[in-house]
Structure 1
Amino acid sequence: MTASMEKTADAAGGGRWQWPVPADRYDTAAQVRVAEVKAIRELGLENLRRLHRHDPAAPGWALIRRLLQPLEAANASLDSPPTSHRRRAMADATAVILLRCAQLERSYWGWSVEEWTEAIGADQAGFRRSAPAWADDAVRSYVSSHAYLLGGFNEFHRLGSLQRLTMARRIFGRDRVDAEITKVRAVLDQWGYRLGRGDDTLLPMVICQLFLLNRSPHVEDLTTELFDRIRSERLLGDLRLNTLHAVQRSVAALGFCHPPLLANGGGRTPRAGGAPAIWTEWVDRWHATSTLTPKTRGNVRADLLKIGRWAAAEQPDAADPANWTRQTCATWIGALDRMNVGDYTQRTVGLAGRIGEPLQAPTKAGRIAAARTFFRDCQEWEWLPRRFAPECALATPRSIGALLGPNPRVIADDVWAKLLWAGLNLQAADLPATRAGFFYPVELVRAITLTWLFSGQRSDEIARLRRGCIRWQHDGQTIGGDDSEVLVRDAVCLLDVPTHKTGTAFTKPVDPLMGEAIEAWQAVRPVQPQMVDRRTGEKVDFLFAFRARRVPSTYINGTVIPLLCRKAGVPAADVRGNITSHRARSTIASQLYNAKEPMTLFELQAWLGHRSPQSTTFYAKITPTTLNKAYDDAGYFARNVRTIEVLLDRDAVTSGQAAAGKPWQYYDLGHGLCSYTFFEQCQHRMACAKCDFYTPKDSTKAQLLEAKGNLQRMLVSIPLTDDERAAVDDGQVALDKLLAQLADVPTPAGPTPRQLGVPATATMLPIVTIK
C-alpha cells in the first residue's frame, strides 16, 4: 500500500478520520505459507463462517492469525448496525476472503485490481458466480469494504450497482459523512438547487464516491486534480457529470479547489487538427495574444484553421503565413467564392442536409474578415513583414458585399399578438420538465419571457441584466422598493441596460408588466455569487442567475420561444424564417414607429440604444397598413385620372336618332356639356374652347336635356396628361400655360381657340372631379 493510501490526520485534529488498518502494523507478505493454506482448508466452512457449531479453539486459527487479525480490525472499524444479520455478513465476508487467499496462494495484501474485481464481482451476478453459494449480496458489500481498507481497491466504476453511500458511511462513519454532505448541500441550496428525490440520492452518492476515491471523508481534502482526474478517466460515467460539476462548484465556493472549467475549456477553443503545423502555431500564437472576446477569438480561430487546411491541400507554399502575398490572397478569395458547405471543415456535426450547398455571403465575408484580422494584427505586432496591405488585398469583394446588410425580420402582428398572450398567461404547467422537476423556477422563466416580449433588447443584453435593474418613478420622483405606491397607475417603469454591443449603459422606459414580473422573480431569487461580466470584466450580480450560473443567452431561442409557440399554437417559423430572439427587437421597433402617435426616429434610436440613427432605420420598418394609408392619402390614382359624369340620352338611342348623328351622350364639364363622342381624345377637354360641340348649362337646350326622365347618368375615368395634371394641381399659372399651348390646336369642330375668339388669358374651369 502506498503512502497516499495511508492518508492519516492528527487524532486530536477535531474528529478527522484516520486510516483504521495501517499496513505497517501487520505482516503484509504477499505469499501465503503452506501451513496457512493447509489451516484454512482444515478449518472448513463451519469454522470459517463461524456458524453456531464452529470450534473457536481449533489450532488452525493460530496458524492464520496474520491473515485474520487485519480482517478483524477492519470489521471492528466499520460503522455497521450491530444486528445478527450484519455480524453474520461480516463473518461470511471474512471467510470468502480467506478461502480466496488459499485458492490463489497469495494474501489479500498482494491481490491485483483485477483479482479484487473478480472477488467482488463486476455486478451481483458476477459475485454469485465467483463466491460460494451461501454468500449473498450483503456479503459482497462487506467484501468491497475489506478490499478498500486492506487492498487499497477503489476502482468502484468497475463494480456496477454498488451502494457507495452505504459503503462510505460504513467505512468513514455515518455522522461524519452526513455532516460533510451537509456542507456541500448547504451551498447548493443557497444557490437555488431544489433537489428532487432522484437528485437527493445522486448527490450523496457522487460525494461519497469522491470520498472513497480520495481516501478521505473531508470536503477540504477534495482537490482540483481529483475532479480533473475523475473527468479525464470517466470514473463516474457521463450521466453523473452534471452533479460532479455542481459539487466542484460548491467545494470551490468553500475555498478548497478551483471552480470547474466551462464545457469548452473555460473559453479556450478546443484543439483542431488538419491544418499544417506551422500554420496552427501562428494561429495559436495570435489566439493567445488577441484582445477580442473569447467567443470572437474562437470563431476567428476556426475560420483560420479552415484556411490552413485549404493551403495544405491547394497551396503548400502558403502553409506558412510569412509566405503570403497579394497574389495568394487573391487566389484564396477566388477559391472561397466557389466553396461549398463542409469544405475544409474538420467536423460536420450539425451540417446534415447542407453539405455541398454553396456558402452564403455572410459566411464568405466572415472568413475574409478573419483572414484580414489575422494578417493585420500579425503585421501590426511586427511578427510578419508587410508584404501586402490586408485592408486592400483581403477586402470583401463587391459581389459578396452587395449581398450583405442588416435584414431584421418583423414578425406578423397577428402572430406577435398570440406570442404576447402566451407570455402573459405563462403557467408552471407550460414549462419543460425533467425527472427532477423544473430546472428554472416559473418566476424566472416568466420574467425572462416578458423581458424578451417587452424590452426590445438583444438576447445577450437580457442575459446580462443586473439585479436591481428595474426602477419606478412617479411624477419624476423615484419610488422606493418598500413604497406601497410602487404599482400606482401612473408609475413609470425604467430599465437599466448594461454596456452593450454598440454603446454604453443607458436607461429606457418599459411596460410595467415587465417590471412586475422582474420584481416577482427578485423576491424569490436565491442568493447567487457574483460572476464576471465578460464584456466589462467586472463582477456583478446577474438578474437571471440560478444555481450559481447565469442563464445562457441561448435560453430564449432554445426554450422560451418554442414554449411560447406551442402555447400560442403558432409555428416556430414563418415565411421570413425561424422566429428568433432578435426578431422581437425589430418587431417592437416597427410597432413603435408605426403607432398612432409614433416615436420619431431619434426617440426610437435612444430607446433601442443605437449609436447611429442609420442602424435604427434598419429596425424601423413601415408596416403595410401604414404604407397603404400613406399611399391612399397620396392619391396616386386620383392624381393621374379624373372621373367625370356622363349623361346618356336613352330616347336618342332607342329611337335610332343617335345612329343618324344626333348627339346622345354629354360630358358634364361643370360649366357646360360637351357632346363630342371622342371626348377623351380631345386636347381641349380641360380648357374647353367652346366649339360647336359645347352647350352652356344655362342654355335652354341643356335645361331640356336635364329635364328628361329617361336620362341615364354614369361615371367615366379620364386619364390626364402632365400639362393637364399640372393645370388641376398647380392652379391658374399652369392653366394659362395650357391655354397658350392649345391656342392654335383645332377643336373637334375644326376651328382653333384663337379662331373662335377665345382669349389666351381666359380662365377656364377644369373638369369637375366626382368621387
Structure 2
Amino acid sequence: MNTAVSAWEPGRHDDRTPWSFHVDGRGWDRRGELADGESAAVLALGPTGLRRNRAVGIPRRTATHWKALDRLVEPLDAARGVLHHGEDIRFRRAGAHAAALVLQHCVDTGRSYWAWTAWDWARLGGSNAEEFLAARTLPTERTVRPFLIALGYLLGGFTGFHHLGNFNRLHLACLVFGDDIVEAAISQAAGILDQWGYRGPLRVKHRLRGIFSQALLINRSPRLEDLTTEAFTALRAHPANSGRYSEMLYALQRAVAALGHCDPPVRSGYNHAPGIEGTDPAWAAWVERWHATSPLTPRVRATGRTILAKVGRWLATEHPETTEPGQWTRKTCAAWVAAVDRMAVGDYVQRRDHIHARAGTPISPRTKAHILMATRMFFRDCQEWDWFPRRFDPARALAVPRSVASLIGTNPRVIADEVWAKLLWAGLNLQPADLPGNSADAYYPMDLIRAITLTWLFSGLRSDELSRLRVGCIRWQHDGQPITANSADVLACNAVCLLDVPVHKTGTAFTKPVDPIIGQAIEAWQAKRPAQPHRLDRKTGEHVDLLFSIRAQPIAKDYINHTIIPALCGKAGVPTADVRGNITSHRARSTIASQLYNAKEPMTLFELQAWLGHKDPASTQHYAKITPNTLSTAYTEAGYFARNVRTIEVLLDRAAVTSGAASTGQPWQHYDLGHGYCTYTFFEQCPHRMACARCDFYTPKDSTKAQLLEAKENLQRMLASIPLTDDERTAVDDGQAALDDLLEKLTDIPTPAGPTPREIGVPPSATLLPIADVSHGKHAQMGQF
C-alpha cells in the first residue's frame, strides 16, 4: 500500500514528488482471509494480553501467540511508529490500545484489516465518542479513538470522516503529518483569509481549522501546493465535504488560489444553465448557438435563452413540422403573437416547482412584450448574421399588438410617504440587534451594513450600481472646490458630497450629489475595510476595488431585499408589502425620484434625469410621479373654475313671485352689476353682461327704484355662476385694453331691450361687473376700467 520514503523536511521536497508517509510496506502480507492460528492467538491473548504490547515496553508473555500475529502486528507497529504524538506515555499507550482494538475486530469480522471496507473502519470508530466507548468489548478510553482513526487512515486509506460525527480533525492531521507542518499550512491559508476579513467567533475559526485539516487528510498531503485545481474538484466530490463544509472548502480554495497553487473556485451552478428540454433538438441547437454568439450581457442572454426555449416547446406542441428558425413565415409569427397574447403562467415552461398558486393566471402585458422582444431579437440577430435567408421583418411580424401596448404604462410603485419616513428612521437607527440571528455571527461587519443601508435609503441607486461602487467613490466639495482628504478644516455644513456611480444599465459612469450622511457612512466603512483583492467588473471587464466587499467577495445583490429590508420593516413596525407589492430595493429609487419631483422646490424633469443617470427623459417618467397633493395644489392655483366661470349676486323679489306679479311681466330677479341691476331673465345669455350697455332692463343703483328694491324685507340674496366667453375671460384677465376691445365688438350687437349700444350711447368707459367672493360671502370687485 505504501512505499518507503524519507521523512519530510522543510525546503527539501520537490513539488512534482507526491507526499508519502515514512512507512515501508514492502513485503507485507495483505491477504484478506484470517488464518485459524491468527484467530486462536487473538482469543488466547485476550483483552489484557492484546493491550500489553511490546511497543509499550512490556515483554510479551506468550511469544508463540504473538509470533502467529506477526503479519498483522508488524504493519500496525509501523503505522504507530510514524504517528506524531511525542514521548507522552499516555499517547503511546493509546496507540497500543488502538492496535489491540484492530486485532480484536479482525476476529469479530473474520477478515484481516486489509480486507476491511470504509464501513468496517467507521463501525469500529463509532458515530461519536460515546458510541465508541459503549460498543467496545475491550476496556478503552476517549484518547484511543483518534489513534484508531489514524491507523485506519494509514493502513486502510480510510477517509469516511462523515461517518464518525464530530471529532477533532485538527488533532488527527497533527497525528498523521506533525504539528509543525499542519500549523504552517493552516496559518498560511488563514493569514490570507484574515487579511480579507474572514473574522468570526472562536468556534467558527476552530471549525475552519478543522475543515482545512480534513482537506489535507483527504488529499493525503499537508502541503498547500499539493492542493491543485484537480485536488479541489475531488475534495468537493467527497461526501465528507458536503453541507457546511463545502462553503469553507470554497474559502480554502480561494486562499490557495491567491497563493498561486490552483485556479479560483467557481460556485456550483454559477453561470450554468440546465439543458433545454421539451423542444426539438434542432431548435435547441439553434438557441444554444445564438446564446454562445450574442454579445449581450450574460443575464440578458440567459433570459433570452429561457424565452426561446419556451418558443421551442410551443412549436413542438402546435407546429411540430417547424423545427428551425429558418422555416418561420409571417403566418408562424402571427400564430406565435396570438399564443403569447393568450398565454398563462406555467405554459410551455420547463420547471413548475416555483409557480405555485400563480399557475393558470394570465401573464401581464409587460411580460408579453418581453417575450415578443426576445423573439424579435433572436430572429433579427440570426438574419443579420446570415444564418438563414430573410423571409420577414421581425420588427413588424413580431410587433407587440396595440391592444397589449396600450395596457403598458408607467408604474413607479412609490412607497407611501408615512411608510418611507419610518424606514428612513429605522435605517438611521439600525443596530446589530435589529438584524436576524445573533449579531456576533453576522456575516457582514456592522459598518458595512450601515453604509449600504444608508446608501440605499438616500442615493436612489439600482442594486447592481450599489453593489459595484468602488473604493473612493465619495468626494467632497465646498463652493465648487474639492476638499482634500488631508485637510485639517472641518467640513462646512453646506459641503457637497459627490458620489461616483459606475457604468450602469443605460449609460456610462456619472457623478451625482447625495446627502452628506452617505459620505460619512461610506468613509466610516472604508476606514475599517480589510484589504481585498481586485474583482472583475462584469460590465466593464476591469479589475476594480469594490467598496462593499468582504472576505474577497462582493456583497450579494439580493442582500438588501432578503436581509436589510426585512430588518428595517421589523424595526419600523411596517409590513414588508403594501398594496403595490413587496417592498424591494428598486422601489426606493422610485420613491426618492417622486419625492424630489414633488418637493417644495422640485427638480425639473431634466435635472432628475441627470440625477438618476437616465439616458432618455422618457425613462425618468417611469420613476417621477406627481403626487395627488401636488396635483391638487397646482390645479387649485391654476384657478380653472374661477377663470372660466364667474359668480355674481342675484336679488330675488319673493313678494313679486308669491303675488303672481312676476307672471304679468314685473321684474322679480335682479342681477347685481355693481353699478346697477339687470332685470333680464336670461342674463347668462346676454352678450353685454360683462360690459353692460345699460339698456331698458338696466336699473342704476343711485335711482329711487333701486333704493326701494334694496329696502324690501322679503328680498332674498342668492349667487349665480355664469360661464365666460374667451373675450370676456380676456377682459377679466387683461384689463382696460381688453374691455375696450370688447365694447368695440359689441357696439352693433342688440341688447335684450332691442337697441344697440351705439344707439343707446354707451359712455367711453365702463365698470366691470363685480364678482361675488364665494369663500367669504361678500362682493369682490374685479376692478375699475
Calculate the TM-score normalised by the size of structure 2. Answer: 0.88
Which amino acid in the other structure matches residue 49 of structure 2?
Answer: N
Structure 1: how far apart are the matches of 2:605 and 2:440?
Answer: 49
Summarize the alignment of residues 153-232 of structure 1 with structure 2, pairs less than 5 Å apart. 153-232=158-237
Residue 621 (structure 1) aligns with: 625
Flag the 1:695–1:619 CA change in 2: closer, same or farther, 3 A. same
Q: Find out whether 1:732 has 2:739 as its counterpart.
A: yes
Counterparts in 2 of 1:363 and 1:711: CA distance versus 1, 3 Å: closer
Q: Given the superposition, is the C-alpha separation of residues 734 and 582 from structure 1 closer, same or farther in structure 2, using an over 3 Å criterion? A: farther
Q: Residue 739 of structure 2 aligns to which amino acid in structure 1?
A: Q
**Corresponding position of 1:39:** 41
**Matching residue of 2:777:** none
* CA displacement at 1:672 relative to structure 2: 0.7
Secondary structure, counterpart of 1:618 in structure 2: coil
Cα distance between partner residues in 1 of 2:162 and 2:5 = 22
Q: Find out whether 1:525 has 2:523 as its counterpart.
A: no
Please say if 1:361 is aligned against 2:345: no
Task: Tell me which amino acid in the other structure corresponds to 2:418.
Answer: D
* Aligned partners of 2:693 and 2:757 also within 8 Å: no
Aligned with residue 588 of structure 1, among 572, 589, 592:
592
* 1:624/1:9 CA distance change after superposition, 3 Å: farther
Q: Please say which of residues 49-58 and 150-159 is displaced more in the overlay.
A: 49-58
Residue of 689, 714, 721 corresponding to 1:717? 721
Give the letter for the 2:392 counterpart. F
Identify which of 607, 622, 647 aligns with 1:603. 607
Q: Within 1, Cα distance between the matches of 2:178 and 2:33?
A: 32
Measure how far apart 1:535 and its partner are. Answer: 0.4
User: Which of 475, 479, 483 pairs up with 1:479?
Assistant: 483
> Counterpart of 1:65?
70
Cα drift, residue 215 of structure 1: 0.8
Relative to 1, partners in 2 of residues 1:474 and 1:700: Cα closer, same or farther, differing over 3 Å?
A: same
Residues in 2 aligned to 1:115 and 1:690: alpha-carbon distance in whole angstroms: 122
Task: After superposition, give the CA deviation of every residue in 1:685-723 in whole Å (9 maximum; x if it has no partner).
Answer: 434343444321222343455577997755443344566
- Counterpart of 2:22 in structure 1 is 20
- Which whole-Å CA distance do the structure 2 matches of 1:406 and 1:263 have between them? 38
* Structure 1 segment 69-218 matched on structure 2, within 5 A: 69-80=74-85, 85-123=90-128, 127=132, 131-132=136-137, 134-218=139-223
TM-score by length of 1: 0.90
In 1, the alpha carbon distance for the partners of 2:649 and 2:93 equals: 116
262, 270, 276: which one aligns with 1:257: 262
Mapping for residues 346-385 of structure 1, pairs under 5 Å:
346-385=350-389
* Deviation for aligned residue 1:500: 1.5
In the other structure, the counterpart of 1:236 is 241
Q: Check whether the contact 2:447–2:525 (CA below 8 A) recurs between aligned residues.
A: yes
Once structures 1 and 2 are overlaid, which stretch shifts more, 157-166 or 346-355? 157-166
Aligned to 1:288: 292
Q: Is the contact made by 1:431 and 1:442 (CA closer than 8 Å) also made in structure 2?
A: no
**Aligned residue in 2 for 1:432:** 436
2:343 alignment partner, SS class: coil
- Kept after mapping to 2: 8 A contact 1:650/1:712: yes
Q: CA distance change for structure 1 residues 667 and 434 in 2, over 3 Å: closer, same or farther? A: same
Deviations 1:620-665 (A, max 9, x none): 3333333222212221111232122345678989999999987665
Q: Secondary structure at the match of 1:316?
A: coil
Change (3 A) 1:331 1:661: closer
Kindly state the Cα deviation for residue 494 of structure 1 after the two structures are TM-superposed.
Answer: 1.1
Q: What is the 5 A alignment of 1:406-425?
A: 406-425=410-429
Shift of 1:570: 2.7
Contact 1:48 1:95 in 2 (8 A): yes
Q: Is the 8 A contact 1:224 1:258 kept in 2?
A: yes
Give the superposition deviation at 1:682.
5.5
Deviates further, 107-116 or 297-306: 107-116
Give the alignment of 1:539-550 within 5 angstroms: 539-550=543-554
1:148 to 1:608, Cα distance in 2 relative to 1, 3 A: same
CA contact (8 A) 2:693 2:762 kept: no
Structure 2 CA distance for partners of 1:12 and 1:332, relative to 1, 3 Å: same
In structure 2, distance between residues paired with 1:357 and 1:306: 17
* Matched length: 763
Structure 1 pair 675–369 and aligned structure 2 pair: CA distance change class (3 A): closer
Q: Tell me, yes or no, if the aligned pair for 2:695 and 2:760 is still in contact at 8 Å.
A: no
Question: What is aligned with 1:332?
Answer: 336
- Aligned counterpart, 2:756: 754
1:389 alignment counterpart: 393
Q: What are the equivalent positions in structure 2 for 1:550-589 lying under 5 Å apart?
A: 550-589=554-593
Counterparts of 2:119 and 2:668, CA distance in 1: 117
Q: Greater CA deviation, 311-320 or 404-413?
A: 404-413
- Distance in 1 between residues matched to 2:746 and 2:411, nearest whole Å: 51
Structure 1: gaps spanning 5 or more residues? none
Amino acid at match of 1:101: C
Q: Which residue type is aligned with residue 769 of structure 1?
A: I
In the aligned structure 1, how far is the partner of 2:291 from the partner of 2:657? 92
**Alpha-carbon offset, residue 498 of structure 1:** 1.1
Q: 1:537 to 1:302 in 2, by over 3 A?
A: same
Question: What amino acid is aligned across from residue 236 of structure 1 in structure 2?
Answer: N
Quick one: which amino acid aligns to residue 167 of structure 1?
A: L
From the superposition, tell whether residues 31 and 393 of structure 1 become closer, same or farther in structure 2 (CA, over 3 Å). same
Give the drift of 1:133: 5.4
Q: Could you say which residue in structure 2 is the equivalent of 1:401?
A: 405
SS at match of 1:535: coil
Tell me the CA shift for residue 175 of structure 1.
Answer: 3.2
Amino acid at match of 1:732: L
Provide the rounded CA distance (Å) in 2 between the counterparts of 1:690 and 1:121: 118
- Contact 1:735 1:763 (C-alpha < 8 Å) held by counterparts: no
Q: Choose from 303, 307, 314 the match for 1:303.
A: 307
The worse-fitting range, judged by mean Cα deviation, of 182-191 and 541-550 is: 182-191
- Point out the more displaced range, 105-114 or 128-137: 128-137
Q: CA deviation at 1:211?
A: 1.2
Contact 1:7 1:216 in 2 (8 A): no
Change beyond 3 A, Cα 1:755–1:486: closer
C-alpha displacement of 1:334: 2.0
SS at structure 2 position matched to 1:614? helix
1:509 aligns with one of 501, 505, 513: 513
Tell me the distance in 1 between the aligned counterparts of 2:222 and 2:399.
62
Deviations 1:170-195 (A, max 9, x none): 22223332332222221111111222
**CA distance in 1: counterparts of 2:108 and 2:703, whole angstroms:** 139
Please say if residues 452 and 462 of structure 1, whose CA atoms lie closer than 8 Å, have aligned partners that are also in contact: yes
C-alpha distance in 2, partners of 1:129/1:319? 67
Question: Does the aligned pair in 1 maintain the 2:412–2:623 contact within 8 Å?
Answer: yes
Q: In structure 2, do the counterparts of structure 1 residues 434 and 476 end up closer, same or farther at CA, with 3 Å as the change threshold?
A: same
Identity, % of aligned pairs? 55
RMSD (Å) for aligned C-alpha atoms: 3.3
Q: In structure 2, give the amino acid aligned to 1:464.
A: R
